[in-house]
Amino acid sequence: MRTRLIIVAVLFAVALFVPLLGQPYYTKLAVRMAVFALAAMSLDLIVGYAGLVSFGHAAFFGLGCYAAGVLPMVGVQNFVVVFAVAALAAALIGLVTGAISLRASGLYFIFITLAFAQMVFYVAQGMRPLSGDDGFRLPAPTLLGGLRLTDPHVLLYLMLAILALAAGISYRVTQSRFGQVVQAARDNAMKLSAIGLPAYPYRLALYTYACALAGIAGAAYANLTEFVAPNTMSWVVSGELLFMVILGTAGTLFGAIIGAVVFVGLEQILSSYTEYWLFPLGVILVLRVLVLKR
């Protein structure tokens, strides 16, 4: 845990100085890393701490994107409102779908989360007023005071602050009584009931919280790409988020941040060499799983 914390601290420190390079490309890359770090970290709460493999986490990320894309259409650009709505929308859908998904576990949980995510994906794809499958340009940026979040420098510092806060709170939550109960449910749900605690409501609360974090990451992503499309919700993105969690070792929280940075970094580097960049990435994942310690 200590080593990971140091690595994350160094990554943060480096990220703070990226804008000094004066190249928006690198700043955007750093934002992308921070956005996926937040999404991957939230997924790790479900996968690593609750012990439930969700294959539909991108749905909540995508919902956050759509919140940031739709609200400006009705004149809402305020950062607090946009990000709060993104978080709440993701949390609400997370609560409803989680209430059903968490009745299952293991393989069935994977299938149900995937099925719900695909439902959300197809709804977004079918929404003609929002250009359906094509998606749409972000009508107007989210505003923080007088600052536009579509400015990568602004978005980078904002995301670093949000990520640090979310990581700090999430870490404390995992150490808290609530967090310990969720992890105990992962170890032995039968025993948890026998000592007087039901696993279900605790799992659902954690799931909902994790979905809210993914929604926030999504709202930032819409400002980064200045585009909103259903593919942010696709199972491919869910798979990539899982990839990041596994790269950084599930159940380590800060590991997911490292995993996201490595994944996004590799994606940039490898795709500049070959259009078949997914292939070496797959090899890396296989190697990572084979040497996985826990």
> What residues make contact with another protein under the rule CB under 8 A?
172-173, 175-181, 183-184, 186-188, 190-198, 202
In angstroms, give the least distance from the CB of 45 to another protein. Answer: 12
In angstroms, give the least distance from the CB of 187 to another protein. Answer: 4
> Quick one: 27 or 170, whose CB is closer to another protein?
170
In angstroms, give the least distance from the CB of 23 to another protein. Answer: 41
- Contacts for 171 with CB less than 8 Å, ≥ 6 apart: 253, 254
In angstroms, give the least distance from the CB of 208 to another protein. Answer: 12
In angstroms, give the least distance from the CB of 172 to another protein. Answer: 6
CA–chain centroid gap for 145, Å, is 25
> Quick one: 45 or 224, whose CB is closer to another protein?
45
Residues in the chain: 294
> Quick one: 147 or 184, whose CB is closer to another protein?
184
> Quick one: 3 or 176, whose CB is closer to another protein?
176
> Quick one: 3 or 193, whose CB is closer to another protein?
193
In angstroms, give the least distance from the CB of 247 to another protein. Answer: 21
The answer to whether 130 and 230 are in contact (CB under 8 A) is: no
> Quick one: 194 or 290, whose CB is closer to another protein?
194
